[in-house]
């Protein structure tokens, strides 16, 4: 942890994920520097330093410098990495904690390799609650660079929620597969709730969901969220339109390139798209759970529509043969 006045690491992008990860780190004794273009979060105390501009980053951190990025995937990541390449030095480390396409992560790592600056892809799961209380991290990159940030990540992860997935791109690839599985699970739960709603007699659906939370084969955090949101909001007030950033579309396309059949994941994507033309109970149920774990908005979102169009930069990158 920090000695003297310099910080242990920086977080660029202090939205819901970045700010909550910063608060968790400060609580655990780290000194953290932060930079954001939006409204800065309330300072948690003297262990947090808000930087007025990126030019102060080099002097604010202990070398080798460790810089976490929690900004929207796409052009913003490239622009920020270009700016950091002019500020950081050989041996410094950038960790992209957003939902970047894994092929973009491989390209970025290769581009900064001649400068001696490491770009690691850090798949981050667990939502806002995980960022605040213990996240799930999947990191990709060379072993020597990963070893330098591993103690921090293990400290900020929930117990057992850390893996060095492999070389560059593997962290974001495993997070992308995770998101595809998530979509399939959301779809199955949503269809189950729809079936409960269509039973010929009235069912105590919230109580059924509560029962499933205890000892059933399908007990999960998603079932927890479904019961909590069902009791709080019911179904009628929730729009049957589901927005997303388009990440799992990338996975379905990659599955075709890899010649791996993913029928459940592919169908869950098509059903999500179908929700934008009609109102269905399964779509409302998924929207309720997504709102619960990630604060995703109800109904249409111009921000997420833009993310679908802009967050992926490059195309599929063929893995290098050993």
Residues carrying an active site annotation: 175, 182
Q: Which residues pair with 1 in a beta bridge?
A: none
User: What DSSP designation does 55 have?
Assistant: G
Contacts for 200 with CB less than 8 Å, ≥ 6 apart:
none
Beta carbons of 174 and 165 less than 8 angstroms apart: yes
Residue 178, phi then psi, degrees to nearest 5: -55, -45
Beta carbons of 10 and 34 less than 8 angstroms apart: yes
Contacts for 321 with CB less than 8 Å, ≥ 6 apart:
none
Contacts 24+ apart (CB under 8 A), 76-85: 77/104, 77/108, 78/104, 78/108, 78/313, 80/12, 81/108, 81/112, 81/119, 83/54, 84/54, 84/57, 84/117, 85/112, 85/115, 85/117
Cα of 133 vs its chain's centroid, Å: 15
Please name which of 103, 124, 88 lies closest in space to residue 15, comparing C-alpha atoms: 124
Beta carbons of 65 and 77 less than 8 angstroms apart: no
Contacts 24+ apart (CB under 8 A), 161-165: 161/126, 161/130, 161/134, 161/135, 161/136, 161/137, 162/136, 162/137, 163/137, 163/138, 163/139, 164/139, 164/140, 165/123, 165/138, 165/139, 165/140
Cα atoms found within 13 Å of the Cα of residue 30, Cβ hemisphere only = 22
């Amino acid at each position: 942890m920090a000695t003297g006045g310099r910080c242990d690491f920086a977080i660029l992008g202090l939205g819901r994920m970045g700010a909550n990860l910063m608060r968790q780190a400060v609580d655990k004794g780290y000194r953290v520097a932060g930079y954001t273009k939006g409204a800065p979060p309330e300072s948690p105390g003297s262990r947090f330093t808000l930087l007025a501009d990126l030019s102060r980053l080099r002097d604010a951190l202990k070398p080798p410098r460790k810089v976490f990025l929690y900004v929207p995937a796409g052009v913003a990541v490239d622009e920020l990495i270009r700016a950091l390449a002019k500020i950081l030095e050989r041996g410094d480390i950038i960790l992209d904690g957003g939902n970047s396409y894994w092929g973009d992560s491989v390209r970025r790592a290769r581009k900064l390799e001649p400068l001696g600056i490491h770009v690691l892809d850090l798949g981050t799961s667990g939502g806002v609650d995980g960022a605040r209380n213990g996240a799930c991290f999947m990191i990709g990159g060379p072993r020597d660079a990963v070893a330098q940030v591993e103690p921090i990540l293990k400290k900020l992860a929930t117990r057992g929620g850390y893996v060095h997935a492999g070389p560059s791109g593997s962290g974001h690839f495993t997070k992308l597969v995770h998101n595809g599985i998530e979509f399939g699970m959301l779809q199955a739960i949503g269809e189950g709730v729809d079936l409960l709603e269509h039973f010929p007699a009235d069912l105590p659906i919230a109580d059924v969901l509560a029962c499933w939370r205890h000892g059933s084969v399908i007990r999960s955090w998603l079932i927890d969220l479904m019961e909590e949101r069902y009791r709080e909001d019911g179904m009628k007030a929730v729009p049957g339109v589901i927005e997303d950033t388009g990440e799992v579309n990338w996975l379905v396309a990659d599955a075709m390139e890899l010649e791996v059949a993913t029928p459940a994941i592919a169908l869950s994507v098509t059903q999500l798209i179908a929700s934008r033309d009609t109102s269905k109970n399964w779509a409302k149920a998924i929207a309720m759970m997504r709102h619960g774990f990630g604060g995703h908005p109800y109904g249409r979102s111009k921000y997420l529509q833009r993310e679908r169009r802009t967050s992926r930069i490059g195309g599929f990158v063929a893995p290098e043969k050993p």
